[in-house]
Amino acid sequence: MTSPVPSSVIVRFAPSPTGNLHVGNVRAALFNYLFAKKAGGKFMLRLDDTDNERSTEAYAQGIETDLAWLGLTHDIFARQSDRIADYEAAATKLKAAGRLYACYETAGELDRKRKRQLAMKKPPVYDRAALDLTADEVKAFEAEGRKPHWRFKLADEETTFDDLIHGHTRIDPASLSDPVLIREDGRFLYTLPSVVDDIDFAISHVIRGADHVTNTGVQVQITRALGATPPTYAHYSLLLSVDGRPLSKRLDADFSLQAMRAEGLEPMAINGLLARLGTSDVVEAKLTLDEIAAGFDIAHLGRADIRFDPADLDKMNAAFLHMLPYADAQPRLAVAGCDLGESFWETVRPNLARFADVKLWASVVEGPVSPVIEDAAFAAAAASVLPSEPWTGDTWKLWTDAVKEKTGAKGKALFMPLRLALTAHEHGPELKNLLPLIGRERALARLSGASH
C-alpha cells in the first residue's frame, strides 16, 4: 500500500524549547520534512514555548542549530509566545459556545477525587462538578481567592479519524476527562494553542508519535468546535532505548543531536537511519535528503515500537563515509589540513568510522611515523628490493613478490612486518594503494627504523 500524494501539503514540527533535541524528537522533524519534500509542500518549525518557566532562548536556538545541521530547513516559522492574542480569541469563542467552562477545584481536591474513584475501581475521569456550581458558590470560591482553570467540554460521542498509519481510529470520550486548556494563572496548556496554530497556518497533515493518538481525539473535537476541519493525522511508532524505555531529554543526553555532533557523527547518517527504522525498506546510506525523500512513504512505517541501538548508527555513519565522493569531502579535508588529493581520499575512506579518522591516515602518509621493526634483517632485505619510482597500484605486488623470493616469508609473516614498518599500525587501508602515497623516500627511511 502506498499513501496518496496530497495536492497541497503544509506540515509542522513543534518542539518545546525546554531541552536539547534527541533522536526521538528529530524523527518527528525528519518524517514531516520528508513528507513535505516529496509532495512539494512546506515544512513549518513552530516553537511551542508557552511554558515560560521551562522554555529558554538557548534551547530555542539549539533546536534551530540542530535542524540546520541535519539539513531540515523550514519554510515557515512561528513562536507560540507571539500568538497569545489568537489563543485568547479562540478561548472566548469556546466559552461563548459553552464548550469551555471554569473549574475551581484545587490540585489537592482533584487528587482526592481521583483516589476515591480508583478505590471504587472506577476510571479517574473528571466528574464535571464545576458545571453544577451556582453563582453563589462561584462567588464564595472567588472570595477565597481561588482562580479558575478552564476545561473543554468533550462531546459525548465517539470521535473518529482516518490515520495514514493506523487506519480508521476511534476515541471514546467517556474514558477521558475534559481536558484543562487554561491554567489558574491564565497560561495556556499545549492543546488549545496547538489546535489554533494548525488552523491558522492551514496545517494539512499532523505527523507525530503514537503516544498522541488519544490527544488527537481531543484536538479533533476542539478543531470542529472552532468551526474548522481537522488535518489528516499519522501516528508513527515510538523510538525506545536499547533497554526498552522511551527516550527522554533528561536520561538520554548521549542521544541528543548536540552530543552526536560533538562525537563526529554525520548528519546524513542520522537522517538515513531514522528514515528507515521501523519500515520494511532496506536501511542503506544515502548522500542527500532528496534521495531519502524520493523513497519515503508514510504508509511503510510500522506500528511496533523500535529500539534504537547506537551500534546501528555507527554502521550507517561508516557506510556514508565509505561512499562519500571526493568532491563532497574535499572542503572538509581542506579545513582539517588533510587534503592530499582524490587518490588519498579514495584509499582511506573505506577505513573511516568518523571523518576525523582521516587525520590519522594523513599523518601516516606524510609522517613522521615511528615504524615498528620486529626483525631488522627482514626489513633490510625488504628495503634492498624496493622498486624504483614511479610507483603505481601494481608496485605493492611486485615488491612483496620480490621480498617473498628474497626472504622466504609468506602470508602474515610477509605482510604484517611490512605494514608495521610503513604505517606503525596492524590494520588500515590497502597497502597497494597506500604505498604510492607514502613514496619511496619515506618507505626506505621507515624500513631502516627511522621516524619519517
Under 8 Å between Cβ of 15 and 249:
no
Q: What does the pLDDT profile of the chain (452 residues) look like in tens digits?
A: 344 444 599 999 999 999 899 898 899 999 999 999 999 999 999 999 988 888 899 999 999 999 999 999 999 999 999 999 999 999 999 999 999 999 999 999 999 999 999 999 888 999 999 999 999 999 999 999 999 999 999 999 899 999 999 999 999 988 899 999 999 999 999 999 999 999 999 999 999 999 999 999 999 999 999 999 999 999 999 888 888 887 776 667 788 999 999 999 999 999 999 998 877 666 688 999 999 999 899 988 888 888 888 999 999 999 999 999 999 999 999 999 999 999 999 999 999 999 999 999 999 999 999 999 999 999 999 999 999 999 999 999 999 999 999 999 999 999 999 999 999 999 999 999 999 999 999 999 999 999 98
For the chain, the 3-state helix, strand and coil shares in percent, each to the nearest 5, are 50, 10, 40
pLDDT per position as a tens digit, 322-332: 999 999 999 99
Cell 616469508, located at residue: 409
Separation of alpha carbons 225 and 159, rounded Å? 13
The answer to pTM > 0.85 is yes
Helix (H), strand (E) at residue 13? strand 10-13
Q: Give the number of other CB atoms < 10 A from CB of residue 264.
A: 12
Determine the 3-state secondary structure of 410 from DSSP: coil
Tens-place pLDDT, residues 280-307: 666 688 999 999 999 899 988 888 888 8
